[in-house]
Amino acid sequence: MTTDYPQFHPTTPALQRRLRRNRTDNWVGGVLSGVGSTYNINVTLLRVLFVASMLLPGPQILMYLAAWMIMPAE
């Protein structure tokens, strides 16, 4: 599957990539898979780190929900 979005091309600078939720590789909302595919980070690592961050105090769930509402789908 190919996309027309420049953020998926590995030579595009990170600041010029557009952050979008991934609709094909999502578990809940596609936020973490969108971040992983945009910045070439392992999505499984992001998911494990996010679940591990639940042990720390903070607004992780609220931030995820806000990103889910703000980030457009690809």
Return the domain boundaries, the chain. 6-70
Residue 71 pLDDT exceeds 60: yes
What is the pTM for the complete model shown? 0.73
**CA distances (Å), 19 to each of 6, 15, 56, 63, in order?**
10, 10, 26, 15
**Tokens encoding 5:** 């979005």
Nearest Cα to Cα of residue 39 among 14, 64, 60: 14
Q: Which pLDDT score is estimated for 61?
A: 92
Q: Which pLDDT score is estimated for 19?
A: 83
Question: Distance between alpha carbon 3 and the CA centroid of its chain, in Å?
Answer: 16
Alpha carbon distance 10, 71 (integer Å): 21
pLDDT digits (tens, 9 = 90+) for 7-53: 456 667 766 778 888 888 778 888 999 998 888 899 999 999 999 99
